């Protein structure tokens, strides 16, 4: 099985141009919900090609963007010219290269489905957040995961499925509660107005 790192290294060349309604909806949701927010120190987990980093640079005075792959970071650095953004290579399943109690806002988009241990992620969020800081995440909805949907792309006419882990809604809520993060908002999102189908995305906002 291909690793998450190798999958996104391969996907980097076409990620921004492939048809991807999940990616596009995630960007819309993030701008809609975080547009009114402001942060002195903002941490982005899994910035990828910088699809949301450009926007986050407008609401964060200082933005620290992390990603697992050099190829994705190279794309992000070429795209995002904002002087208030710093990029760094980091494996989010290992202790993050971030100081304690530093960030007003931590953001994760379409990242946690690729990480098995949510408890570790929420513990690191708690460590890095300032008191009263916020953690926003937007992920593939569990209802879509139940149907077998996961991130994938095409290479040489073959479908490449990125390794993914099923996280139930209670998994997010339990991991947050264990780390004293309070739920402030829960939203579900559809790519169209047809609510007869399961929602595609789940967004959650927590406060430390």
Q: What is the domain partition of the chain in residue ranges? A: 4-207
Query: Is residue 39 scored above 90 in pLDDT?
Result: yes
CB atoms within 10 A of CB 69: 22
- Token couple for 155: 């290479």
* pLDDT one-digit tens code per residue, 99-123: 999 999 999 999 999 999 999 999 9
In sequence order, the 6+-apart residues with CB closer than 8 A to the CB of 27 are 51, 52, 55
With a cut of 90, say whether residue 67 has pLDDT above it.
yes
Q: Residue 103's pLDDT is what?
A: 98
Give domain 4-207's CATH architecture.
Answer: 3-Layer(aba) Sandwich (3.40)
Reported as type and span, the H/E element at residue 183 is: strand 182-189
Average of per-residue pLDDT across 16-45: 95
Helix/strand/coil for 93:
coil
Torsion, CA 101, CA 35, CA 111, CA 153, rounded to 10: -160
Residue 164 near residue 150, CB atoms below 8 Å: yes
* Predicted TM-score of the model (pTM): 0.96
Residue 198: C-alpha distances to residues 188, 189, 191 (Å): 9, 9, 10
Mean pLDDT of the chain: 95
What does the DSSP 8-state code read for residue 198?
A: P
Residue predicted with more confidence, 32 or 7: 32
pLDDT at 194 over 80: no
pLDDT score of 193 more than 80: no
Q: How far apart are CA 151 and CA 89, in angstroms?
A: 21
- pLDDT reported for residue 82: 95
pLDDT over 70 for what percent of the chain? 100
pLDDT at 179 over 90: yes
Q: Higher model confidence: residue 20 or residue 61?
A: 61
């Amino acid at each position: 099985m291909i690793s998450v790192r190798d999958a996104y290294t391969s996907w980097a060349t076409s990620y921004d141009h492939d048809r991807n309604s999940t990616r596009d909806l995630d960007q819309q949701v993030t701008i809609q919900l975080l547009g009114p927010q402001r942060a002195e120190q903002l941490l982005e987990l899994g910035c990828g090609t910088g699809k949301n980093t450009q926007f986050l640079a407008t609401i964060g005075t200082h933005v620290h963007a992390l990603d697992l792959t050099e190829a994705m970071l190279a794309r992000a650095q070429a795209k995002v010219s904002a002087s208030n953004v710093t990029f760094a290579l980091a494996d989010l399943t290992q202790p993050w290269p971030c100081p304690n109690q530093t960030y007003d806002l931590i953001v994760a988009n379409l990242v946690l489905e690729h990480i098995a241990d949510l408890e570790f992620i929420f513990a690191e969020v708690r460590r890095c957040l300032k008191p009263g800081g916020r953690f926003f995440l937007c992920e593939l909805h569990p209802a879509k995961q139940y149907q077998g949907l996961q991130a994938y792309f095409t290479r040489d006419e073959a479908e490449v499925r990125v390794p993914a882990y099923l996280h139930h809604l209670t998994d997010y809520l339990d991991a947050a509660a264990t780390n004293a993060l309070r739920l402030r908002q829960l939203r579900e999102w559809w790519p169209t107005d047809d609510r007869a189908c399961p929602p595609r995305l789940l967004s959650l906002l927590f406060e430390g």
